[in-house]
Chain A
Amino acid sequence: MAQRYGGRFSPDGKGGRVEAAPAPKLASPLKGRARVSILMALSVIPIVTAFGQGGAIPLAVNLLSGAAIFAGAVVTREGLKAEAAWTARKIARRPAVPRKIFGSVLVGMGVALGAMSGLAGIPAAIVYGVVAAGLHLTSFGLDPMRDKGMEGVDTFQTERVARSIEEAEKHLAAMKDAVLRAKDRQAEGRVDRLIEAARRMFRQVEDDPRDLSSARKYLGVYLMGARDATAKFADLYAETRDPVVKTDYFALLDDLEKGIEARRETLLVSDRTDLDVEIEVLRDRLKRDGLPTGE
């Protein structure tokens, strides 16, 4: 999206000292996206040739073939997304549906249908299909099949965390949507910064689900309040353009962001305390058993 230049002498400028905004984090492009796109494009071929085959059954079969290959490519892309999400997280459960494997089965079926000519050609078509599925699996790989970093983690708690974060993400999305109504780029940037801070905390709670109870307020009530305040601010500011309103709103966001950051630090500290306690208990036991502990 185009953004207005906000330099020294611009209306939104910072006047003299220009502090560099933190660079926005861009998501890295999906691995294997190009291959999926090529596969989608190739699925057009059987659909185009379907009309030159002369006959209703070849037409239907070739259309089905194109549809299966396209569906296979779509499912594969979803599988790649799931895999990327799995790789990005320190604690992750394996995807519930092995989408890449389904994708390879669909592509294999598509090739088999495309290569089929009459009932006599079915065995050969099946071989072609199996070969295509095998090539697909070699090219895109298998889905992640195991849970990662789940040892010593309560599944129930992880699910609660996932649910809370999903809710919190909804608040963030609503907030981002609401601030657009204010038609003020500074406010949009400010909200983006708050969202980033909130996401940093989400990641931390995900990494250690025990933090949920102490972070809960920030995931729920505060973000909900911020969302409502944003909506009110946007409506009011769009009408009045009152700088006082804007200052007040920014002050609120500042407080909230500071609160989130402070809470995040506390979570880190409490992790540290837990570790210290754990180490101390083990050391005491070793000492009691007469083993050298290096003290």
Chain B
Amino acid sequence: MTSTGAQKIAFAALAVLVALAGLGVLDGGGL
């Protein structure tokens, strides 16, 4: 089984989220 498109998109989104959180861009983001 290879990863499906949905899995790839989800992973890309996760990578961006981790990067932003790491860079501190998300700090102070309100609800």
Output the nearest chain A residue to B14 by Cβ-Cβ distance: A135
Please determine whether A115 and B27 come into contact, CB atoms closer than 8 angstroms: yes
Q: Which residues of B contact A39 (CB under 8 A)?
A: 14-15, 18
Please determine whether A138 and B21 come into contact, CB atoms closer than 8 angstroms: no
Q: Which residues of A contact B10 (CB under 8 A)?
A: 135-136, 138-139
Centre residue among B7, B14, B26, B29 by max chain A CB count within 10 A: B14
Q: Is the interface of B mostly helix, strand, loop or mixed?
A: helix
Please determine whether B17 and A131 come into contact, CB atoms closer than 8 angstroms: yes
Please determine whether A135 and B21 come into contact, CB atoms closer than 8 angstroms: no
Does any Cβ of B come within 8 Å of A32's Cβ?
yes
Does any Cβ of B come within 8 Å of A127's Cβ?
yes
Q: Which residues of B contact A44 (CB under 8 A)?
A: 22
Please determine whether B17 and A135 come into contact, CB atoms closer than 8 angstroms: yes
Min CB gap B16→A, angstroms: 9
Measured in the bound complex, the distance between the Cα atoms of B6 and A5 in whole Å is: 47
Does any Cβ of B come within 8 Å of A49's Cβ?
yes
Instruction: Given the known inter-chain contacts A115-B27, A124-B30, please indicate yes or no for A107 contacting B14, CB distance below 8 A.
Output: yes
Instruction: Given the known inter-chain contacts A31-B3, A49-B23, A49-B24, please indicate yes or no for A43 contacting B18, CB distance below 8 A.
Output: yes
Centre residue among B15, B21, B28 by max chain A CB count within 10 A: B21
Min CB gap A162→B, angstroms: 25
Measured in the bound complex, the distance between the Cα atoms of B22 and A218 in whole Å is: 55
Instruction: Given the known inter-chain contacts A121-B28, A121-B29, please indicate yes or no for A35 contacting B11, CB distance below 8 A.
Output: yes
Please determine whether A107 and B28 come into contact, CB atoms closer than 8 angstroms: no
Q: Which residues of A contact B (CB under 8 A)?
A: 31-32, 35, 38-39, 42-46, 48-49, 53, 62, 65-66, 69, 107, 110-111, 114-118, 121, 123-125, 127-128, 131-132, 135-136, 138-141
Q: Which residues of B contact A (CB under 8 A)?
A: 1-3, 6-8, 10-11, 13-15, 17-24, 26-31
A sample of 28 inter-chain contacts (CB < 8 A) reads A31-B2, A35-B11, A38-B15, A39-B18, A42-B15, A42-B18, A42-B22, A44-B22, A48-B22, A62-B22, A62-B24, A111-B17, A114-B22, A114-B24, A115-B26, A115-B27, A117-B24, A118-B28, A121-B29, A123-B31, A124-B29, A128-B26, A132-B17, A135-B10, A136-B10, A138-B10, A140-B7, A140-B11
